[in-house]
Each structure stands twice: as C-alpha cells, then as structure tokens.
C-alpha cells in the first residue's frame, strides 16, 4: 500500500515505519527507490536494533529517527534529506558507528548479503504466517516457485525447520513480534 501510495502521490519525502504487515519498511523502501530514486525516505521506528537500522540504510533510507523523537527533530530530518543530506538521530548514529566498527572487525554477513530480494520477501511472508499459496498470490508467483524459494532459503541458511526460519526472520529484523 505504501509503495502504491508513493506511486500515486509522488511525494518528495516519505516517512516510513519498519514494522508493517505484508511488506516491511525495508522492502517497501527498496521498491519505492527502485521506481522513484529521487524520493527521500526517513525511517521512523521504535526499533534501534542494529539490524533494523542497517537494513533501512542499506535499502536506501536517507534518515532514521526513533518514534519518541520530538516533532522538531522530525522537521529537521525532513529539511536535511530534502537538501540531499542524511539525518540520523543521535542514538541511531551511535548504533551505526558501533555496527560499522563491529563489522570491520568480523566481516560478518547479513541477511541482505545472503538472500536475494525475492527470497527475503518470501521469507518475510512465510514467517508472518502466510501459507505457501497466500505467499504465491501476494507475490504473483506460482506455488511451486514459492516452494523452490523456501528450499533455496533453507539451503543457503542451513536451516531445516519452518520454526527456525521464523526465528531467523525475527533475529534478522525481517519481521517483529509487535502486533503479532
């Protein structure tokens, strides 16, 4: 819905929540920017976890704020991204720096570097409890294609049970327990 609204309304800036049903904010950000690269996206989330922050920034978000920020900070972020600057709230800037230092030291791979965009979409929908048939319908794929994606995901992640896929999706920030 967010992607479609952005298509129809053509805004300069989109304020995006991460935790949304069907298509999380990270995937929605990627889709919006693929279609409209000049749109600026600011993540406004209650999540300060490194995986959410990193996911949104890698998806192309220009800013990231926590929901408890003051209105003035949101206005400041909007002004900044409109002038092609990035904006991170101070608490998020700390998370980004800590994650950068950690990754430089470990060379750790993330869900974004292991799975394709389509595999992440399939994983998210299945982890949200959608059936294979529902996932196929939502993504305009055949049931067999979704099954093939699920098997490929499990192979890449060395996961052998559906419950482990759900735990992985939560741990990697593809879905949250909020609202579920």
Residue 104 has pLDDT above 60, yes or no: yes
Task: For residue 87, list its beta bridge partners.
Answer: 63
Residue 63 has pLDDT above 90, yes or no: yes
Q: What structural domains does the chain harbor?
A: 2-106 (3.40.50.2300), 111-171 (1.10.10.10)
What pTM value is reported for the model?
A: 0.60
Confidence band, pLDDT 50/70/90 cuts, at residue 16: very high
**pLDDT for position 23:** 77
């Amino acid at each position: 819905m967010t992607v479609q609204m952005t298509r129809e309304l053509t805004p300069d800036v989109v304020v995006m929540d991460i935790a949304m049903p069907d298509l999380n904010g990270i995937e929605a950000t990627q889709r919006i920017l693929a279609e409209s690269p000049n749109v600026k996206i600011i993540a406004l989330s209650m999540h300060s976890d490194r995986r959410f922050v990193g996911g949104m920034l890698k998806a192309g978000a220009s800013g990231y704020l926590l929901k408890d920020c003051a209105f003035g900070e949101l206005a400041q972020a909007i002004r900044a991204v409109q002038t092609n600057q990035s904006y991170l709230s101070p608490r998020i800037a700390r998370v980004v720096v800590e994650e950068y230092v950690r990754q430089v030291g470990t060379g750790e791979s993330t869900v974004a570097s292991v799975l394709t965009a389509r595999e992440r979409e399939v994983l998210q929908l299945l982890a949200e409890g959608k059936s294979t048939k529902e996932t196929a319908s939502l993504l305009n794929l055949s049931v067999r294609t979704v099954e093939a994606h699920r098997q490929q995901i499990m192979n890449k992640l060395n996961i052998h049970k559906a419950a482990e896929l759900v735990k992985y999706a939560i741990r990697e920030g593809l879905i949250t327990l909020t609202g579920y």
